Amino acid sequence: MDPIRESLLKTSKKTRRERRGRIITFACILLIVVMVAALLLFVTFKGLATFFVNHVNPISFLFGTNWNPGQKNPQLGALPMFLGSILVTIFSAIVATPFAIGAATFMTEISPRTGKKFLQPVMELLVGIPSVVYGFIGLTVFVPLMRNLFGGSGFGILTATLVLFVMVLPTITSMTTDALNSVPRNYRESSLALGATRFQTIYKVVWRSATPGIMTAVVFGMSRAFGEALAVQMVIGNAALMPHSLISPASTLTSILTMGIGNSVMGTLENNALWSLALLLLLMSLLFNMLVRWIGRRSSLK
């Protein structure tokens, strides 16, 4: 064939290259999606074995209060650690949110320049500190402190809350900052023009219109706190008992998981029960995710 005719009829080199690039990049993204799907499936199947293979009643699993999976008469009640997880999550969010909103407001409304110069890097560093280091600090500083202040062993929900507070603070702050930054400038200007003070503007206009964003930030922080493993495990005491006070040893899903899974044999009831805890953790994480989407959708309708 004549070369000109050939070059006109065949796909050009560029097109082929383009196709190849498209396929390769799509393969990368597909890999991620497949991985997520595999992860969800694997953990779900392993987690359901307790109920389908060992025929444990899911209701008694969720609401039982005794956890002795290794015994002859195994008791599988996950409520103590589920409650522990929920309590530390809620408490740390309650403590961290005012600080986060305050810091974010400082960075966006009060003194953006100082905020960018000092507070922003401080937040980035707080994110950067590895969670085991937080756990170690909790273990060497907060545990003895709590012991001296309140008696007891010093391990417990209160200590875990303090450690988690510092860990989720930067997450909530940076997302709140984004939310406050996205409040249109003219809202503030109109409010100030009406004679409102800066705080009235912040309180009545900026915070109100950023509420969905702030809520998203808090849920995100809670999601992090719920899934945090090692730092909590080091300071909470890991007693699978119903938490009856803030300063007595308790446990969370993650702490029992990290402690237990290495010491149990694959396929046994004890191991399956731990995988069910992992499934519970996964479901909670998905729930937080859905909550974030729900808030986002509701606010975008307006």
Partner 1 sequence: MKNGKKVHDSQLSDRIANYVFYAIALVICLILAALLIYILVAGLPHVSWHFLTSPAKSFQAGGGIGIQLFNSFYLLVLTMIISIPISLGAGIWLSEYAKKNWLTDVIRTSIEILSSLPSVVVGLFGFILFVLEFNLGFSLLSGALALTIFSLPLLTTNVENALQSIHFTQREAGLALGLSRIETVWKIVIPAALPNILTGIILASGRVFGEAAALIYTAGQSAPRLNFGNWNIFDLSSPLSPFRPAETLAVHIWKVNSEGLVPDAALVSAGASAVLVLTVLIFNFAARYLGNRLYQRMTGGQN
- Binding to partner 1 in span 218-277, by CB under 8 A: 220, 223, 226-230, 233-234, 254, 257-259, 261-262, 266, 275
183: left (phi over 0), alpha (psi -120 to 50) or beta: beta
Query: Of the candidates 7, 25, 57, 211, which one interacts with partner 1 according to CB under 8 A?
Result: 25
Rounded to 10 deg, the angle between the 157-181 and 143-150 helix axes is 120
In a 13 Å sphere around the CA of 30, the CA atoms on its Cβ side amount to: 6
What does the alpha-carbon distance between residue 83 and residue 64 come to, in Å, rounded to a whole number? 11
200 binds partner 1 (CB under 8 A): yes
26 binds partner 1 (CB under 8 A): yes
Task: Provide the mask over 99-138, with x wherever binding to partner 1 is found by CB under 8 A and - wherever it is not.
Answer: x--xx-xxx--xx--xx--xx--xxxxxxxxxxxx-xxx-
142 binds partner 1 (CB under 8 A): no
Shortest gap between Cβ of 276 and partner 1 (angstroms)?
12
42 binds partner 1 (CB under 8 A): yes
Nearest residue to 269 via CA among 62, 72, 41, 58: 72
* Residue 237 DSSP symbol: B
Q: How many residues bind partner 1 (CB under 8 A)?
A: 89
What does the alpha-carbon distance between residue 216 and residue 286 come to, in Å, rounded to a whole number? 14
161 binds partner 1 (CB under 8 A): no
86 binds partner 1 (CB under 8 A): no
Query: Of the candidates 7, 10, 35, 68, which one interacts with partner 1 according to CB under 8 A?
Result: 35
